[in-house]
Structure formats: structure tokens, C-alpha cells
Structure 1
């Protein structure tokens, strides 16, 4: 029997731990990406607040996507499938 593992076999080693420095870097990146946090005068927001605002922002983006998808579907249902407008809308969706 061979003692080497196949490349598809999973390891029993735990994943590497994320360091405090890496967490701080990730929080700084989130602060730059989330408008609610980025527009504040102070960059010193607690990690829990950064994560909460990030979750709120992602939820609002999901709502916007759902709303735009619904509006596009409604628009597509009212125009001729062969029209240039329908072609443009289909290209935006795909």
C-alpha cells in the first residue's frame, strides 16, 4: 500500500488561522467599500459596527437587484420580442 495521498483526498489539518492583522486589513477594506461607513468623518468604527453596516449594505444591494429584475421582467413582457429594445434588455440580463 502506498503511503502518499491522492490529490483529491481531503486533509485532516485545520485551515490556517486568520491573524489579527489580516482581520484589520479586511475591516479597512470593508470600510472603504461600504458607503455608509466610508462617508463618516471618523475611520474608527468598531468591528461589529463595520460588519453590521456591511450586512445592511449587501441586503440593500440585493433589494435593488430584485427591484431592477422585476422592472426588467415587466418591461420585457410589454415589448415585442423581436424589437431592438428587447434585444438590448436581453443583453443586459445575460
Structure 2
């Protein structure tokens, strides 16, 4: 059986969440302009989700453009495989 005390030790406190949000805020370009400005946790989390979605969209777009470039190039399968391996690193 699990020890009830071990669950309490793993519980994340409000202070832990606030500390994580304070660490997250400087990583968001749109919230990083007023460095000392205090922003609500809700805004930080919403902006984080939006930022991740934008980054994922950029990755998808760049992947598609790279794929189109690779298909239009006259390269051997060895060169294509080498490029794929380099991009996955």
C-alpha cells in the first residue's frame, strides 16, 4: 500500500505553481517587454499556450517548405537520408 505521507510530499503547492509561472513569464516574448511588470497567472498560461501553438505552426510550415525543397532538388537518396538525419538531431 502507498504511504499517505508520500502523497503529501508529492503535492504541488500554490507557491510552487507561482514560482513556475514566474520562471515561465520571461520566456514569452510578448510578456517579456515589461520585465518587472507583474502579470496574472491566467495571462501567463494563456500566452504560453498561444506561443506554443505559434511555434508548432512555424515548425509545421518550415517542415512543409523543406519537404517541398527536397522534392524539387535533384539529390540522391543517400543525400536525402543524410539531410533527414541532420535535421533530426
TM class by smaller structure: 0.7 to 0.9
Runs of 4+ with deviation above 3 angstroms = 11-15, 85-89
Give the alignment's TM-score, normalised by structure 2: 0.75
Matches within 5 A, 1:1-94: 11=2, 14=7, 16-40=10-34, 42-82=36-76, 86=80, 89-94=83-88
Distance 1:56 1:12 in 2: 39
Give the superposed CA RMSD. 2.6
Could you list the runs of 5+ residues in structure 1 that have no partner in the other structure? 6-10
TM-score by length of 1: 0.72
Larger relative helix fraction: 2
Larger radius of gyration: 1
CA distance in 2, matches of 1:54, 1:25: 15
Distance 1:25 1:76 in 2: 44
Aligned length: 85
Gaps of 5+ in 2: none
Larger RCO (alpha carbons 8 Å, 6+ apart)? 2
Identify if the C-alpha distance between structure 1 residues 92 and 68 changes in structure 2 by more than 3 Å, giving closer, same or farther.
farther
